[in-house]
Amino acid sequence: MPNLQATISNQLTATAAQTTLSIQELVTTMKAQGMADDAIRQTLLNDLNSGGQLFGSFRNKLKNTVRNGVQLSSNNKVNEKYKKEKIERVRWVAVSKGKACVDCIERDGQIYTLEELEVIGLPGSGFSVCQGNCKCEYVAEDYKGENLDKPLENLDKKQNVTFRNMAGKHDSITDSDKWLNKNLTLKYSSLKNLDLKNRNKLNKTFKKHLDNNAKIDLNNISIRNLPQSIAASANRRKGLIINSNVFVSKIAKERYKKSVKSGWFPRGSKGFETTISHELGHSLSFKHIDLKGKKIIVKSPIGKKLKDLHSEYTKDLISKRKNWDKNWLKSGKSKQDKSTYWKSFKGNESELYEEIFGRDFISQYGSTDIMEWIAEAYSMAYHTPNPSKYALQVRRLLDG
Residue 3 lies in a domain: yes
Among candidate residues 109, 136, 155, the one where a domain is terminated = 155
* pTM (2 d.p.): 0.62
Is 28 found in the same domain as 125?
Answer: no
The model's pLDDT over 323-333, given as tens digits with 9 standing for 90+, comes to 998 898 888 88
What pLDDT is attached to residue 163?
84
Residue 176 maps to a domain: no
Answer yes or no: is 345 within a domain. Answer: yes
Same domain, 143 and 63: no
Residue 287 · residue 388 · CB < 8 Å? no
pLDDT for position 159:
47
Give me the numbers of helices (H) and strands (E) for the chain, helices first please: 14, 9
The percentage of residues in the chain with a pLDDT greater than 90, rounded to a whole number, is 20
149 pLDDT exceeds 60? no
56 and 132 inside one domain: no
Same domain, 96 and 70: no
Asked whether residue 100 falls in the same domain as residue 75, the answer is no
Considering its fold, how many domains does the chain have in total? 3
Domain membership of residue 211 (yes or no) is no
- Domain of residue 31, residue span: 1-81
Domain boundary among 155, 172, 201: 155
Mode of pairing for the β-strands spanning 89-93 and 111-113 = antiparallel
* pLDDT at position 52: 67
C-alpha span between 317 and 389 (Å, rounded): 13
The H-assigned helical ranges of 51-155 are 53-84, 102-107, 114-120
- What mean pLDDT do residues 13-20 have? 69
- Does residue 113 form part of some domain? yes
Kindly state whether residues 135 and 41 are assigned to the same domain: no
Q: Are residues 137 and 96 in the same domain?
A: yes
Q: How do strand 220-224 and strand 239-243 relate by DSSP bridges?
A: parallel
3-state secondary structure of 106: helix
Task: Assess if residue 178 is contained within a domain.
Answer: no
Position 132 in a domain: yes
Question: Is residue 231 domain-resident?
Answer: no
- 383 and 328 in a common domain: yes
Asked if residue 180 has pLDDT above 50, the reply is yes
Confidence of residue 303 (pLDDT cuts 50, 70, 90): very high
